[in-house]
Amino acid sequence: MRTKVIFSLVDQGGLSAFNFALNIFLVRYWDPSEYGLFAIFFSLSFIFTGIQNALVNTPYSVWVPAAQSSDKASMLRQTLASTNFLLIAAVSLPLVLILLTGFLPVDPSHALALSAFYAATMVREYLRSCLAAEMMLPRVLLIDVIYVLSFCIMSGGYIALYGVDAFTLYQLLWCLAAAQFIGSSTRIVSEFKRLQRCHWASWHQQYQPIWLQSRWALVGVSSTELQNRAYIFVIGAFFGTAAVGFIQAGRLLFGPLNIVVSAWTRVAKPTLAKLKGADELQQFLKLTHAGAFGFVAFNLLFSAALWLAWPFISNQIYGDKYIGVEVVVAQWALVTLLFHGRSVYSAAVQACMRFKPLAFATIVGGVGSLLALLFICLFSDSMWAVSSIIVGETIAAIYVFNLLPKRPSPAANKEVADAV
């Protein structure tokens, strides 16, 4: 387990460094309004992959490792592969049609760039999740290395030819889409072969048992996105894209940390599912609590380092465009700490296949976050919008913690022993 987590952290660390460098570049060279529009488009990609995680990726990471036979595992792989194909088509095709028909005031070439970006993101995320669930971590790393190198070559070449001012949002989307498709090419052929073996006529029947669980994960994702990303669209509607850019610039420093917790949960969920299936509750809880404690300690150390280095960071990254952003940064520090703790415990609850109560936890947190956000929009300044996420994360974290399976008491263990 430890080696696999380290391997995943190397991969996620590289992605973290790449995303961090890209966002620093965008903050330095784009004005807040363009960066805010990028944040809105990027948030939509997280919503789409969140739906994908609920319907496909999380079931894959929980159901396939726990399959009792190779035939059962093969059937699950084919069913989830076909589900993923249908989901990507359902996201991409209507979006292209809506944008190309002129329903929204977007240039057709920009519409295609946006649709290609979302499709490529979902293809790559699915392949990475499947490989991670199968513990084929070197292949996950290969996909990501090719993706990052391809993007750097394409975007660097464009900037060298036309200058940094010509590198707009839509050039960025095309480069990201193409690079992700190139990175995924190492597995797309084998995935197409799997799709050819799928029994499309019986897909509905095969997915039905998964749907009974994943529908609650879908509800949970919807409420989580309401809690964690609704502020972007609400702030954009109330205060404009420049305000969104300002708030998201404050989040920039914590993006790499979220990828680290994603690496842990990606590896931990299949492991926790196996421990739960083997009824090794003590090891299950030990691993879960150790993960939560580690992330809390890591966040506190990171925030302390950030505070010490703030004069340098403020001058080198934000400059005069983002005066007062330190207030937003402090709020994001607390959000990140709460989110990491909740993510660890949510992964443990998912491993127990308790998707329905987990969904209610995120619903309660999402409603609390939305109410706090509306209050801030009506009576305060956009700078305090992140506080609404703190409210929602606190509520959800308390709820999720109480969903963990309880360790049997010594008295209960004695009763079991006496009965035997």
DSSP 136-190: -HHHHHHHHHHHHHHHHHHHHHHHHHH-GGG--HHHHHHHHHHHHHHHHHHHHHH
Q: C-alpha distances in angstroms, 324 versus 27, 240, 310, 383, 384?
A: 15, 18, 12, 9, 12
**Mean of pLDDT values over 353-376:** 86
**pLDDT tens digits, one per residue of 164-189:** 989 999 899 999 999 999 999 988 87
CA distance 369 to 391: 6
- Residue 197, pLDDT > 80, answer no
CA 354 from centroid of its chain's CA atoms: 20
Tokens 């959800």 found at: 396
Residue 158, Cβ density class (10 Å: 0-12 exposed, 13-18 middle, ≥19 buried): middle
Which residue in the block uniquely carries the two structure tokens 């784009």? 30
pLDDT at 411 over 60: no
pLDDT of residue 309: 92
Residue 321 DSSP class:
G
Q: Please tell me the predicted confidence (pLDDT) of residue 420.
A: 39
For 373-392, what is each residue's pLDDT tens digit? 999 988 888 889 899 889 99
Q: Nearest CA to 204 among 87, 89, 79, 73?
A: 79
Q: How confident is the model at residue 359 (pLDDT cuts 50, 70, 90)?
A: confident
Whether 338 shows a pLDDT value over 90: the answer reads: yes
Is the predicted pLDDT of residue 243 greater than 80, yes or no?
yes
Say yes or no to pLDDT of 413 above 50.
no
Summarised one tens digit per residue, pLDDT across range 62-110 is 888 777 777 888 888 888 888 989 999 888 877 777 666 655 555 666 7
pLDDT at 219: 79
Q: What is the pLDDT of residue 322?
A: 84
Distance, CA of 279 to chain centre? 29
Residue among 400, 402, 405, 401 nearest 281 (CA): 405
Q: What percent of the chain has pLDDT over 90?
A: 27
pLDDT at 252: 87
Mean of the per-residue pLDDT values for the chain? 84
What are the DSSP calls for 356-389, one per residue?
A: HHHHHHHHHHHHHHHHHHHHHHHHS-GGGTTHHH
Q: Is the pLDDT of residue 339 over 70?
A: yes
pLDDT in tens, 245-288: 999 999 888 877 877 787 788 778 888 888 887 788 888 888 88
Query: Closest by alpha carbon to 268, among 363, 193, 346?
Result: 346
